[in-house]
Amino acid sequence: MSDTRIAIASSVLSAEIEPLGAELWSLRDAAGRELMTDADPRWWTGHAPLLFPFVGRSRGDRYRLDGHDYPMPQHGFARRKPFAPVEQAEGGLVLRLEADAETRAAYPFDFRLDMGFMIDGATLRMTATVTNMGEATMPFSFGYHPAFAWPLPYGGGQKDHRIIFDQPEPAPIRKVGEEPGLIALDSVPSPAIGDSLAPTHAMFEGDALIWDELASRSLRWGVPGQPHLRIDFPDTPWLGLWQKPGAHYLCVEPWAGMADPVGFTGDVWDKPGIMALLPGDHRAFRMDVTLID
């Protein structure tokens, strides 16, 4: 383990968290089997970046606010910033990112982002809390981006794995359009059959699959009849699934917000999914990952 990573554990699960980006780096069962990406550099070295203050790409990697243009990298800057531990115990910790001169140059707001991790038996509970510490209403979005092992270490190959939503998902989905990283204006038919999706590498040749009319707030990932993961995301209305085709992970990404649409030229307040946070207010986003035997 890196000298900087922080370990938390129960008798069932153990996790390592990297303070740079408050990124969940590893999640293992009691036998030490890894449930997350192998981070093979041929594909993608990320593990579970946090998406803040915006989800997805801004057109031209810039956004407009009140007549001014600001630079913004894809998925925001939080994943590249060091978080400071503010609470720590054997089974949990809270890491904090606050506005500084660098963030204000791209995002002129005083914010606090607390990222909490706690292991409770077979469940890893993650809670991101965004607080507006300033005097102006703050536009923002937030998303999770964890990469889970595909295949999981419990038998069965990649083709045997399923996403099982907690509700049928017949609504059309969105995909990335002709401008890299931006959302196509037209939807496409859902690849789910009822509540079930059998992912293939070919599905991701055009980038992510995006559910913006999502009925579910929970899903299961794994091989039917084998130990698997249940992923709960009660506070995020949209979902992205993504991988680099051929890699050994599947990113299950609960989002509150998304990238600009193709051709978007509006103010950030017109961006899909942007939320307004009043001065002094906060908003929390929970994601639970449970190992089901």
Would 121 be classed as within a structural domain? Answer: yes
Would 138 be classed as within a structural domain? Answer: yes
Kindly report, residue by residue over 177-198, the tens digit of the pLDDT.
999 999 999 999 999 999 999 9
Would 33 be classed as within a structural domain? Answer: yes
pLDDT value for 219: 98
CB proximity list for 257: less than 8 A, separation 6 or greater: 51, 54, 55, 56, 140, 141, 142, 143, 238, 271, 272, 273, 274, 275
How far, CA to CA in Å, does 164 sit from each of 28, 218, 224, 253? 22, 9, 9, 15
Would 190 be classed as within a structural domain? Answer: yes
pLDDT band at 2 (very low <50, low <70, confident <90, very high): low
pLDDT over 50 at 84, yes or no: yes
Q: What is the CATH number of the domain that holds 251?
A: 2.70.98.10
**Percent above pLDDT 90 for the chain:** 97
Q: 77: domain range? A: 6-292
> What average pLDDT does the chain have?
96
pLDDT value for 179: 95
Kindly report, residue by residue over 33-48, the tens digit of the pLDDT.
999 999 999 999 999 9
pLDDT over 50 at 149, yes or no: yes
pLDDT over 80 at 146, yes or no: yes
Would 32 be classed as within a structural domain? Answer: yes
Q: Is the Cα dihedral 99, 260, 202, 254 positive or negative? A: positive
Task: Find the mean pLDDT for residues 225-236.
Answer: 98
Would 227 be classed as within a structural domain? Answer: yes
pLDDT value for 3: 72
The angle formed by the CA atoms of residues 71, 134 and 22, to the nearest 5 degrees, is 60
Q: What token pair was written down for 185? A: 């204006």
Kindly report, residue by residue over 160-172, the tens digit of the pLDDT.
999 999 999 999 9
pLDDT value for 89: 81
**Percent above pLDDT 70 for the chain:** 99
Q: Count up the domains in the chain and report the number.
A: 1
Q: How many CB atoms lie within 10 A of CB 188?
A: 13
Would 97 be classed as within a structural domain? Answer: yes
The structure's pTM equals: 0.96
Would 1 be classed as within a structural domain? Answer: no
Q: Is the Cα dihedral 114, 120, 125, 127 positive or negative? A: negative
Task: Find the mean pLDDT for residues 79-93.
Answer: 93
